[in-house]
Chain A
């Protein structure tokens, strides 16, 4: 059982006490503890259950690579699943819960999977749950969903705040070990703008734990001196708890800073996502130790040797009274020496190599520790914790030679450089046979916009092993970065280090090398995804020869692991099974983020009111003050209706329609797009954009037009007014102004750049207010001014400028309702005042503001189409009976050629008609018109669909428009439409103009 040592622990402050709960139990630790170290101090070695077999699992690592100790941290709006205990710093009130078990961590029903692991080999789900198909939905999926998956999703709204931060620097240094510090120092001295980030709360990485001396002093002193120097440089910014999570195109990088996870009482944003653009990036990301594959290497108490050393040195933890070391290299001997110094027993160092003659093995022997070379572990004893190891000859098949009782096993399979950031943007790797790892190939670095490399590795991330090599490599990296940025560095010698002589490691991919199937089934490659040596071998046997296929088939290195622990061992196993060399098998793709980052950090400030910009019309405040029910239209908010107290939306819409039809309505149409098109070639340009002729329009007149794209499909419609010989004002649909303006600019800039036309989007410069209804003219006359608004002076489809009620106004006599209607453009700053003045003057006629729903109903009663209802990107004007708006004279317009394609001229295209249900009900929106028979999928054949449907208050019945096969030729026919409840409703095909077919109401 693990416990806290009486002394030691360089990162903890023993004078402090922090209490937290673990599965409801109150425990305590110190400032500086991680959740993992605090749990170990409390004797809690069991920290989770595995993903697939629900095996008991303890902590394996001490940092970001931890695969097992994943927990749900926090509660309610601050709950977050799958947090690593190794990177979670404790604070008063922290709550942690283990996951992946039922009913409890100690007793898990799902662990039955592990007793018969033959039941769940690689690809089990693919092979087993194929048929019968209905079983998938009703039986397999619910059961699998209950038992599979990491952690539980949070149920409550995230209670915290997040932010984005933009930084432009010359050099980003990822990693604050001695390599990163050295590189940042050198670059800082050269005057580069440097951002140095470290994912943990501490600087210096492994050097202080490994007893490194720099310049004759302990590494800690060198680290402090360097930090002091960096802090004194104005051109250098340093950040702890900040992980470079990804490297992207052209020097872009993301850094994930955890500001308050360790101290929630601090306030402010919880996480900050740095969006960095760097001239050069140095990845000083260190290396990660590899596990060894021996039977039972996942039993709680088996840890990476370096992690176990961290727990002793950094947090004063005893992993157990007796620790057996198992290794294929010299580095693990450091762990033995550290344990020995702490007064703990190391019954044996089990070294798979035939001999161990380096400085460190010598030191271990001198300390009286038994070193067994040529030896391996045949099996780890224990279930929920290690009780001992069975030894064997590494060269053999696993026959027991000895058994040693112990509480912990420290394993080391060698080190792999952390190449993730290097690889994210295309950096290639090279296989280093001597050290049995992939390291960055400096000759094939990620390249930027200029085709030159922008990522350089430094220190252990380059493959350097000793502190001396690490510092020298970091110095070189800083020099290369400065060169690339056109700066030069003063040549300084790196400080000397005290590196012991280390003998080469020996590749050991399986222990013992002749282990049979029974042992291979207990050798874990990927703890997190429960992938064993036997699974990878099975995949190879079943033909999954590509490493990418094997990854997906077995889930090796998937999820948050991203190959951190499992990669090399898995590749080596696959290579072994395929009889191939490891470099020939290759690696899987490293994808960002390096470790998971929070969804909140990705969203940043973009939530609630700041999710996207809100556009407000000049009259917006009136709508809100009236309690209007608002609906989004693009980035605008428009009133849907203005319900009075006690009114339902249907009732208020009904009232608004009738008030407008019978007397006077008022509409805020300011969202209408307004684009000024000016120049000698403006008419010619609009002739190309619209299907009908615009160049013949007379100044003072308006014309309705249709705009299509080159595919021939309708994209926008609206009224064009000619202001003078050279100037047109184009009205677009609400929310369509930006798109249409961009469309115009595209053609003007890229195709007809010699045409003399200038366009300006003036949508927000004007409020537009529609005065609608039989009393519309009376209202404007009452408001006064200098304009003659009579039918003779300002006929339908004319416009005029002047003053109304003291306001500068441009009055368009156009109608989207079929009523006498004036759309009045007022300078935006005066829009609200005009609106208020109209409301006041209109009291005589019971003036009624109406919303978008009343607008829609009135246009549908008149059979006017709406872009987005009658059109969906596949509809051409000819489908909508709008041939009258398509010029026959013009040689060309956008979409003309496409509309001549055979599919577009096909007589069986569905065409627009009106629809009236025989029972007066309102058709369901989007309902299909049913035809006889069924299709190949046994679905009812269809011959049309509803595009707009409303209850008409004017007519007191349901009205609809729809596209129907041969519709215009079938007037009076009765057709059936499906309903949501599975039934059908009969409707008669009619003319789409339901109300005032002769236009008498607007012609007054």
Chain B
């Protein structure tokens, strides 16, 4: 059972306090987008063995959404950070690279 630090309220939250929201930093495509764009937005998700950016909500806590950078293999948590960003902050990328020098961020 994971522990994630909620960046909004500072609590080290057990997974039972959290609800998962899938991949982070998706770009929304609405009316006018092509079928390919919309399909990608609605259905295509990254499923890496390794570094992954995720959406979580401190549902049974402060109620706020946040993002987590986490290794899906070892479950190591590199950083949790605000949900109010559409890109991965540089500090988070640096935190990951400090632990995984070979990793590179694909955008």
- Pairwise interchain contact A746-B75, C-beta atoms closer than 8 A: no
- Pairwise interchain contact B33-A742, C-beta atoms closer than 8 A: no
A710 touching B42 in the complex, CB below 8 Å, given contacts A742-B57, A892-B30, A896-B30:
yes
Q: Which residues of B contact A711 (CB under 8 A)?
A: 42
- Pairwise interchain contact B3-A449, C-beta atoms closer than 8 A: yes
Among A250, A750, A900, which residue has its beta carbon within 8 angstroms of that of B75?
A: A250
The distance from the CB of B59 to the nearest CB of chain A, in whole angstroms, is: 7
Among B1, B38, B75, B84, which residue has its beta carbon within 8 angstroms of that of A897?
A: B38
Sample of 17 further A-B pairs with CB below 8 A, known A745-B65, A898-B38, A901-B38: A248-B1, A250-B75, A251-B3, A447-B75, A447-B76, A450-B77, A451-B99, A710-B42, A742-B59, A745-B63, A749-B64, A750-B55, A896-B30, A896-B31, A897-B31, A897-B33, A900-B31
- Pairwise interchain contact A249-B31, C-beta atoms closer than 8 A: no
Q: Which residues of A contact B64 (CB under 8 A)?
A: 749
What's the Cα separation between A756 and B2 when bound, in Å? 33
Residues of A within 8 A of B (CB): 248-252, 277, 426, 447-451, 710-711, 742, 745-746, 749-751, 753, 891-892, 896-898, 900-901
- Pairwise interchain contact B1-A252, C-beta atoms closer than 8 A: yes
Q: Which residues of A contact B30 (CB under 8 A)?
A: 892, 896-897
| Residue of B3, B32, B33, B83 ringed by the most chain A CB atoms within 10 A | B3
The distance from the CB of A848 to the nearest CB of chain B, in whole angstroms, is: 41
- Pairwise interchain contact A250-B2, C-beta atoms closer than 8 A: yes
Q: Which residues of B contact A451 (CB under 8 A)?
A: 71, 74, 76, 99
**Binary contact track B1-34/A, C-beta < 8 Å → 1, others 0:** 1111000000000110000010000001111110
What's the Cα separation between A545 and B83 when bound, in Å? 48
What's the Cα separation between A316 and B46 when bound, in Å? 63
The distance from the CB of B81 to the nearest CB of chain A, in whole angstroms, is: 13
What's the Cα separation between A892 and B35 when bound, in Å? 16
* Residue in B closest to A892 when the chains form the complex, CB atoms: B30
Q: Which residues of A contact B77 (CB under 8 A)?
A: 449-450
What's the Cα separation between A898 and B42 when bound, in Å? 9
What's the Cα separation between A751 and B30 when bound, in Å? 13
| CB-contacts of B22-81 with A (<8 A) | 28-33, 35, 38, 42, 55, 57, 59, 63-65, 71, 74-77
What's the Cα separation between A891 and B74 when bound, in Å? 44
What's the Cα separation between A1002 and B4 when bound, in Å? 54
The distance from the CB of B100 to the nearest CB of chain A, in whole angstroms, is: 10
- Pairwise interchain contact B42-A753, C-beta atoms closer than 8 A: no
- Pairwise interchain contact A449-B31, C-beta atoms closer than 8 A: no
- Pairwise interchain contact A749-B2, C-beta atoms closer than 8 A: no
- Pairwise interchain contact B65-A891, C-beta atoms closer than 8 A: no
What's the Cα separation between A606 and B99 when bound, in Å? 41
- Pairwise interchain contact A750-B14, C-beta atoms closer than 8 A: no
| Residue of B4, B64, B65 ringed by the most chain A CB atoms within 10 A | B65
What's the Cα separation between A449 and B14 when bound, in Å? 12
- Chosen A-B contacts, 5 in total, with CB atoms closer than 8 Å, are A250-B1, A447-B76, A753-B84, A896-B30, A900-B31
B-side interface residues, number (CB < 8 Å): 30
Q: Which residues of B contact A449 (CB under 8 A)?
A: 2-4, 75-77
The distance from the CB of A890 to the nearest CB of chain B, in whole angstroms, is: 9
* Residue in B closest to A711 when the chains form the complex, CB atoms: B42
The distance from the CB of B105 to the nearest CB of chain A, in whole angstroms, is: 18
What's the Cα separation between A742 and B3 when bound, in Å? 22
Would you list the 3 A-B pairs with minimal beta carbon distance, nearest first?
A451-B76, A753-B84, A252-B1
- Pairwise interchain contact A249-B75, C-beta atoms closer than 8 A: yes
Q: Which residues of B contact A892 (CB under 8 A)?
A: 30-31
Q: Which residues of B contact A750 (CB under 8 A)?
A: 21, 55, 65, 83-84
Q: Which residues of B contact A251 (CB under 8 A)?
A: 3
Q: Which residues of B contact A900 (CB under 8 A)?
A: 31
Q: Which residues of A contact B1 (CB under 8 A)?
A: 248-250, 252
* Residue in A closest to B24 when the chains form the complex, CB atoms: A750
Q: Which residues of A contact B21 (CB under 8 A)?
A: 746, 750
The distance from the CB of B36 to the nearest CB of chain A, in whole angstroms, is: 12
The distance from the CB of B15 to the nearest CB of chain A, in whole angstroms, is: 8
What's the Cα separation between A249 and B71 when bound, in Å? 12
What's the Cα separation between A250 and B30 when bound, in Å? 39
- Pairwise interchain contact B28-A746, C-beta atoms closer than 8 A: no
* Residue in B closest to A891 when the chains form the complex, CB atoms: B31
Q: Which residues of B contact A901 (CB under 8 A)?
A: 35, 38
The distance from the CB of B19 to the nearest CB of chain A, in whole angstroms, is: 8
* Residue in B closest to A451 when the chains form the complex, CB atoms: B76
Q: Which residues of A contact B31 (CB under 8 A)?
A: 891-892, 896-897, 900
Among B14, B32, B33, B75, which residue has its beta carbon within 8 angstroms of that of A277?
A: B14
The distance from the CB of B84 to the nearest CB of chain A, in whole angstroms, is: 4
Q: Which residues of A contact B65 (CB under 8 A)?
A: 745-746, 749-750
What's the Cα separation between A745 and B55 when bound, in Å? 13
The distance from the CB of B23 to the nearest CB of chain A, in whole angstroms, is: 12
- Pairwise interchain contact A450-B28, C-beta atoms closer than 8 A: no
What's the Cα separation between A901 and B59 when bound, in Å? 33
- Pairwise interchain contact B3-A250, C-beta atoms closer than 8 A: yes
| CB-contacts of B73-102 with A (<8 A) | 74-77, 83-84, 99
The distance from the CB of A740 to the nearest CB of chain B, in whole angstroms, is: 14
| Residue of A448, A745, A749, A900 ringed by the most chain B CB atoms within 10 A | A749
Q: Which residues of B contact A710 (CB under 8 A)?
A: 42
What's the Cα separation between A742 and B77 when bound, in Å? 25
What's the Cα separation between A449 and B68 when bound, in Å? 12
What's the Cα separation between A710 and B4 when bound, in Å? 28
A450 touching B76 in the complex, CB below 8 Å, given contacts A749-B64, A897-B33:
yes
| Residue of A746, A897, A898 ringed by the most chain B CB atoms within 10 A | A897
Q: Which residues of B contact A742 (CB under 8 A)?
A: 57, 59
Q: Which residues of A contact B3 (CB under 8 A)?
A: 250-251, 277, 449
The distance from the CB of B101 to the nearest CB of chain A, in whole angstroms, is: 13
Q: Which residues of B contact A450 (CB under 8 A)?
A: 76-77
Q: Which residues of A contact B63 (CB under 8 A)?
A: 745
The distance from the CB of B14 to the nearest CB of chain A, in whole angstroms, is: 7
The distance from the CB of A710 to the nearest CB of chain B, in whole angstroms, is: 6
The distance from the CB of A550 to the nearest CB of chain B, in whole angstroms, is: 26
Q: Which residues of B contact A447 (CB under 8 A)?
A: 74-76
The distance from the CB of A761 to the nearest CB of chain B, in whole angstroms, is: 10
Q: Which residues of A contact B14 (CB under 8 A)?
A: 277
What's the Cα separation between A892 and B74 when bound, in Å? 41
What's the Cα separation between A745 and B84 when bound, in Å? 12
Q: Which residues of A contact B57 (CB under 8 A)?
A: 742, 745-746
What's the Cα separation between A426 and B77 when bound, in Å? 16
What's the Cα separation between A896 and B29 when bound, in Å? 11
The distance from the CB of B30 to the nearest CB of chain A, in whole angstroms, is: 5
The distance from the CB of A738 to the nearest CB of chain B, in whole angstroms, is: 9
* Residue in A closest to B99 when the chains form the complex, CB atoms: A451
- Pairwise interchain contact B83-A249, C-beta atoms closer than 8 A: no
The distance from the CB of B73 to the nearest CB of chain A, in whole angstroms, is: 9
The distance from the CB of B25 to the nearest CB of chain A, in whole angstroms, is: 10
The distance from the CB of B65 to the nearest CB of chain A, in whole angstroms, is: 4
Among A277, A891, A897, which residue has its beta carbon within 8 angstroms of that of B29?
A: A897
What's the Cα separation between A235 and B2 when bound, in Å? 26
The distance from the CB of B90 to the nearest CB of chain A, in whole angstroms, is: 19
What's the Cα separation between A901 and B33 when bound, in Å? 11
- Pairwise interchain contact B83-A749, C-beta atoms closer than 8 A: yes
The distance from the CB of B5 to the nearest CB of chain A, in whole angstroms, is: 9
What's the Cα separation between A901 and B64 when bound, in Å? 33
What's the Cα separation between A746 and B20 when bound, in Å? 12
What's the Cα separation between A160 and B73 when bound, in Å? 40
What's the Cα separation between A142 and B31 when bound, in Å? 58
Among B28, B42, B74, B76, which residue has its beta carbon within 8 angstroms of that of A751?
A: B28
What's the Cα separation between A749 and B83 when bound, in Å? 7
What's the Cα separation between A750 and B23 when bound, in Å? 12
